[in-house]
């Protein structure tokens, strides 16, 4: 079912009357959806929106942004950073394995 990014899509959205903080932005919608899922699974309510729809609040923004309650911002940023570090570590391991496999055998 397609999501309408301009209206609430779940009950896990912060109340728009609360102080919301932008904690993530990306030109890649898929990446933004992964990060939103990561926050949701960690119990942090978040709102995924098109940056183009929020030009008044965040001028110059395009792509997708994720907003969370101000009190959840530090924890959300920490979760995202931990995820990035774990992905970078696993990507580095994969690349080194590939490089080793491509080396020709010595005679």
pLDDT tens string 71-105: 999 999 999 999 889 888 877 765 544 444 454 45
> Hey, is 92 helix, strand or coil?
helix
Q: Where are the domains positioned within the chain?
A: 20-98
Cβ neighbors of 14 (< 8 A, separation 6 or more) are 20, 45, 46, 47, 67, 68, 69
Tell me yes or no: is domain 20-98 CATH 3.40.710.
no
Question: What would the pLDDT profile of 4-41 be if each residue is shown by its tens digit?
Answer: 334 444 455 666 677 889 999 888 888 999 999 999 99
């Amino acid at each position: 079912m397609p999501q309408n990014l301009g209206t609430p899509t779940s009950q896990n959205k912060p109340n728009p009357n609360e102080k919301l903080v932008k904690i993530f932005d990306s030109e890649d919608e898929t990446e933004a959806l992964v990060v939103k899922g990561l926050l949701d699974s960690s119990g942090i309510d978040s709102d995924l929106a098109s940056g183009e729809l929020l030009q008044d609040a965040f001028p110059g923004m395009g792509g997708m942004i994720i907003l969370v309650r101000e009190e959840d911002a530090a924890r959300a940023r920490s979760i995202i950073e931990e995820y990035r570090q774990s992905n970078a570590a696993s990507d580095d391991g994969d690349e080194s394995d590939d490089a080793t496999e491509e080396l020709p055998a010595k005679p």
